[in-house]
Amino acid sequence: MDQTLVTRLFDRGMIEQAYPLVSARAPGMTLDRWTRFALPQVAARAGEPPHGLMAVQNQAGYILGMFAFAVREDLNEGRVLAIENVMVPNMPGRDMIWATVVDAVDRLATMNGCRAILADLPEERNSGDGEAAWAAPFLARCGYVLKANRALKRLRPNPVSAIVFPAMHTSR
């Protein structure tokens, strides 16, 4: 993959556009069920903890990867950025897509004053095959500590006051 990738917060128009990626990673997922999951993620309101869906897109605007995120309080780690539903297809350029996801997650965590990143890993990661088996070693190389079906990356304390990620506003 010889191109620049960008990350972008989802808007309502991207929900249907992302469905082919979602259905490829979760074959039983219907468009209706995906839409019911995604709509609250893209309709965040001011005052809510920052959360949403982030897309990795190529220059033509195709969604090549995505993840859900939410800022929350963790009993052990304090303010954390929780990452779930990471979808990166097994295709040429997968390393570049994953690197773009990891960079975006690091930026989101820093912008939101998080002390750590908690990333959920698929349960089948220990089976030795598929995307899950590939993702865990990649995250480990990026500074994450693997714990059961989660990966944790602690961040250095930021002496600057936290910058809160702006809430997503969409037109109705």
We report the CATH number of the domain holding residue 126 as 3.40.630.30
Q: Is residue 26 situated within a structural domain? A: yes
pLDDT at 151: 67
Q: Is residue 167 situated within a structural domain? A: no
Surface-to-core class of residue 85, CB atoms within 10 Å of its CB (0-12 exposed, 13-18 middle, 19+ buried): middle
* Domain span holding position 129: 6-154
Q: Could you report the per-residue pLDDT of 29-69, keeping only the tens digit for each?
A: 999 999 999 999 887 666 678 999 999 999 999 999 999 99
* SS3 track for 34-63: HHHHHHHHHCCCCCCCCEEEEEEECCCCCE
Q: Could you report the per-residue pLDDT of 84-142, keeping only the tens digit for each?
A: 999 998 888 888 999 999 999 999 999 999 999 988 876 544 444 455 566 777 777 87
Q: Is residue 171 situated within a structural domain? A: no
pTM of the model: 0.77
Q: Is residue 170 situated within a structural domain? A: no
The residues that bridge with 51 in the sheet, in sequence order, are 70
- Nearest CA among 120, 129, 127, 128 for reference residue 148: 120
pLDDT at 149: 64
Q: Is residue 130 situated within a structural domain? A: yes
Q: Is residue 40 situated within a structural domain? A: yes
Count of domains forming the chain: 1
What's the pLDDT band for 16 if we cut at 50, 70, 90? very high
